[in-house]
Structure 1
């Protein structure tokens, strides 16, 4: 399942999908058993049935929903003849929610259905069901003690406060060169044989022929990389540029690109080119901003099946002279 691969990022979406599935199952059971109730009504009706009249605020606090959500649901229950609003006999300034006789009659007949739901869920989920209920209870308590929004914002601030550094290759980074590139290639295209060869042994296929490898690092973790491949004396290809998905939007790619161009100049390079794909529009705009110019057609003798863009770098002074 795709959402499971996103882990914490999709927690709300996965819980919403499960919630919808359980709601739909309960509604189907109610219909099959001839019960005049909807699953989404259950929390409010069950609370009022067990605790007596209460305000919207009291119900919302008890069932963990917002005041607005409960108020909207009460409007539907009122229209369905299940709940009515009455003045609180002890405080005429506020209203309380009261079950109607219709609701009490409907709820009074649901005991066997609720028991069947308990048993059916247990039979379907097995021990996982019990663990899920325990995990939900633990999650609810944890969120009371440690609200999630401040925790996320604190982590975001800490992330942005970490310095970004561009560092050259060292043997300990070989695995990161492979990991980052495979992650990027599998997301957009697929890994070709030439990729596997280079990624598996960068010292042999990048460094030994006179190229260079650069890495972007934050908090000691490699989050991006790129390579300068020397095709001939003074002729370099910008290649294997990628940034970890989790760090997109921090300007990492641009800093890597600037560092690669600076390394090209430091080496006295006379030609720098790259091959890319037309669907990578954001990356192509970035290349154009630093001086890469689109060439007609693909590069003669291109090694990559995915390449349909060929660009050549011209330094600012060259562009002005031109």
Structure 2
């Protein structure tokens, strides 16, 4: 499932999908058995059933929803004849919510259905039902101690304060070399056979023949990569350049390019070239600014179906 691949970034979306599923299942059961309530009414109705008349604020605090959400739901329940607002006998300045006779009658019929719900959830989810409830409870406690928005904003402040680093290849970064390049290729082109071979074993096909791999790191996040592939003694290809486009504007691409060029000079290379595609206008401008010159034809014997641009590093030529 796509949302699963986004991990923590899609927690809210995945929880909403689960919530909608459970609400839909409960409504299907209620309708099939002629119950006179809707699943989204349950928290308010059950709370008032259990504790008696309460204010909107008290209900909201008890069921963990906003005052606005409970107020809107109360309006629906009033229209449905399930709840009424009345003055609090102990404090005439505030109103409380109380169940109507219709609500009492409707809820008093639900015991067998609620029993079936508990057993049906167990039958469907097995031990995952208990694990899910425990996890929800743990999350609720954690969020009370530190709201997630507060934590996210603090992490963002810390992240953007960190310097962008260019680091060499390390085995623990191997997955990012594949991830970043596959992400880029699938967005603009496709993963060709030659890409798949190199990305799956960069040590064998890039490092062992005398090449190098670099990564752009922001804090703990790996946001870009590129490689310097030695094709023959002194001849290098700049290849597998990819930057996560959600980190645009940080200069990661140029920093990676400069690192690869510096490594090329350190190794006293005699030629540095790259192959690209004419649709990648921003990247091509960056290459030209760094000293790469467009050649009149594609590179003889090119390995890439997508390549229609061939450039050679000639920094002294204008």
Q: Give me the whole-angstrom Cα distance separating, in 2, the residues matched to 1:68 and 1:294.
A: 61
Q: Give me the whole-angstrom Cα distance separating, in 1, the residues matched to 2:201 and 2:84.
A: 70
SS in 2 for 1:150: helix
Q: Give me the whole-angstrom Cα distance separating, in 1, the residues matched to 2:103 and 2:202.
A: 71
Q: Which residue of 1 aligns with 2:193?
A: 192
Q: Which residue of 1 aligns with 2:31?
A: 31
Q: Which runs of 5+ in 2 are unaligned?
A: none
Q: Which residue of 2 aligns with 1:104?
A: 104
Instruction: Deviation per CA, 1:209-230: give whole Å up to 9, x if none.
Output: 5x44333345577653212335
Q: Which residue of 2 aligns with 1:54?
A: 54
1:89 positional shift: 2.7
SS in 2 for 1:302: coil
1:93 maps onto 2:90 in alignment: no
Q: Which residue of 1 aligns with 2:176?
A: 180
Q: Which residue of 1 aligns with 2:138?
A: 138
Q: Which residue of 1 aligns with 2:282?
A: 285
Q: Is the 8 A contact 1:295 1:309 kept in 2?
A: no
Q: Is the 8 A contact 2:271 2:312 kept in 1?
A: no
Q: Give me the whole-angstrom Cα distance separating, in 2, the residues matched to 1:111 and 1:80.
A: 21
Q: Give me the whole-angstrom Cα distance separating, in 2, the residues matched to 1:277 and 1:82.
A: 65
Q: Which residue of 2 aligns with 1:44?
A: 44
Q: Is the 8 A contact 1:166 1:214 kept in 2?
A: yes
SS in 2 for 1:239: strand
1:191 positional shift: 5.8
SS in 2 for 1:109: coil
Q: Give me the whole-angstrom Cα distance separating, in 2, the residues matched to 1:310 and 1:72.
A: 60
Q: Give me the whole-angstrom Cα distance separating, in 2, the residues matched to 1:122 and 1:263.
A: 60
Q: Give me the whole-angstrom Cα distance separating, in 2, the residues matched to 1:71 and 1:230.
A: 68
SS in 1 for 2:6: helix
1:163 maps onto 2:163 in alignment: yes
1:6 positional shift: 2.6
- More deviation, 200-209/36-45: 200-209
Q: How many matched pairs?
A: 309
Q: Which residue of 1 aligns with 2:18?
A: 18
1:12 positional shift: 1.4
Q: Which residue of 1 aligns with 2:78?
A: 78
- More deviation, 144-153/26-35: 144-153
What TM-score, normalized by structure 1, do the two folds share? 0.80
Q: Is the 8 A contact 2:206 2:230 kept in 1?
A: no
Q: Give me the whole-angstrom Cα distance separating, in 2, the residues matched to 1:4 and 1:243.
A: 22
Q: Which residue of 2 aligns with 1:150?
A: 150
Q: Give me the whole-angstrom Cα distance separating, in 1, the residues matched to 2:115 and 2:205.
A: 67
Q: Which runs of 5+ in 1 are unaligned?
A: none
Q: Give me the whole-angstrom Cα distance separating, in 1, the residues matched to 2:286 and 2:22.
A: 51
